[in-house]
Every structure is written in C-alpha cells, then in structure tokens.
Amino acid sequence: MTTDPMRLATSLIGQPPRSLALIEQALTHRSAGPINNERLEFLGDALLGFVIAEVLLQRFPDASEGDLTRRRATLVNREALAKIARSLSLGDYLRLDSGALRSGGHARDSVLSDALEALIGAIYLDQGFTGAKQMILRVFAEALADVANQDARKDPKTRLQEWLQARRLALPEYEVTAVTGEQHAQRFQVRCRLPADGRECLGDGSSRRRAEQQSAETMLSLLSEED
C-alpha cells in the first residue's frame, strides 16, 4: 500500500474514520494474508445493490421492474465498479503480496471492484447506513447522471418500444406506404401503427430507417401529450 488510507477514507466520508483498521482491511487483498477484504466485500456488495435500487426507484417512478433491473446492472457490475475505483486511485492504496503486485493485481478490474465494495462495507460498519449511503451517492454521482441521460440518447424506435413494453402493450407495426423520387434520391413514407388501439402516425425520410424513426418520434410526441 503506497498511499495513506486515512486520507482516502476522510475524502470519501468527509471526516476521519473511527476505525482505521477497518479501512485498511477493506484495502487488503486476500493474497496479503488471512485478514483481508473478502467478508467486507460481501457486506458492501449487498449494501451497494440496495442503495442503488432505492435511488433508481425514486428517480424513475414510471420505470418497469425490468427497466430498473437493467439500469442497476449498468451501474453495479465489475467493469463499472472498477472504473469508479480508478477514478479514486484505489489501486494506489491496495495491499497485495509481491506476486500479485508484480502481475499487476492492483490494476485488475476484479481486484478494484472487490476493493470498492469492501470499502463500502467498511464505511457502513464505521459510519452507519447514512454515512455509507452518502459515500455511495458521492462516488456514483456521475454514473447515476449518465444512466438518467440514457433515454435521451436512445433512438425514437427504441424509446417507443420501451414505452409500450412498460405498459404491457403490443409493439408498433411499421409499413412503407410510399416511395417517391429517382433511384439515387428516393424518399420513403412509413406508417407507424399501434395494434392496441389502431393509432397511426406517418414519417418521411431519405431511407426507410429514417422514415421509421420519424414516425416513431411523432407517435411518442402524441403519446406524451395524452399521458
């Protein structure tokens, strides 16, 4: 371990931890000895899943269970946790044996993600649930904002499909109703129809795909007005 764990913990919780030993244990890989972070990782994993689930439930009141599950999986997985761990320079604080260090263990996704979860578990034991939750919200703030912006980056057809699936409605049907123009400059007109109630919207574009996207966008606008 090359950096002071007290400084790391203080930066994460806003005050020195009550037990430095807990923080050091959270940063100790199993290769370094019998007192390591595996048990704290178990605790931190459960706590992290709960806090993220609670936050998603509050931030997305209209989301289905499936959508909430997908969002949580985006946030709580090895790669995502390792990315956050790297943003905290967590690898600089880890204690591993010489063999694990030589093989680059301090930079592995699995080691970093486990250490982050263990640190969450340690902070819970040191500061209680409120302190651990505040720490999670702080370090996951950017990732949570990114998840909240995912819908804006999805194409209209995907957003329309998810809107219908969330309400257990049949998926839309797309039909080309007209093709005009010369071969090199064709225009497509596409009808988007909802089987559930027969509503229809038209879209126009330089390709079938673009026309479908426009018709889906028009349908979404209609649905949002009626929602």
- The binding site for Mg(2+) comprises 41, 114, 117
> Among candidates 56, 24, 41, 219, which has minimal Cα distance to 144?
56
Asked if 71 and 62 touch (Cβ cutoff 8 Å), the reply is no
Task: Catalytic residue, from 45, 126, 212, 217: name it.
Answer: 45
Q: How would you classify the pairing of strands 187-193 and 173-180?
A: antiparallel
Select which of 24, 62, 67, 117 is catalytic.
117
* Residue 117 appears among annotated catalytic residues: yes
Does 97 participate in catalysis according to the annotation? no
Q: How many CB atoms lie within 10 A of CB 36?
A: 20
Give Cβ neighbours of residue 45 (< 8 Å, ≥ 6 apart). 117, 121
How many residues appear in the chain?
Answer: 227
Residues making up the annotated binding site are 41, 114, 117
Whether the CB-CB separation of 25 and 36 falls below 8 Å is answered with yes
**Catalytic machinery residues:** 45, 117
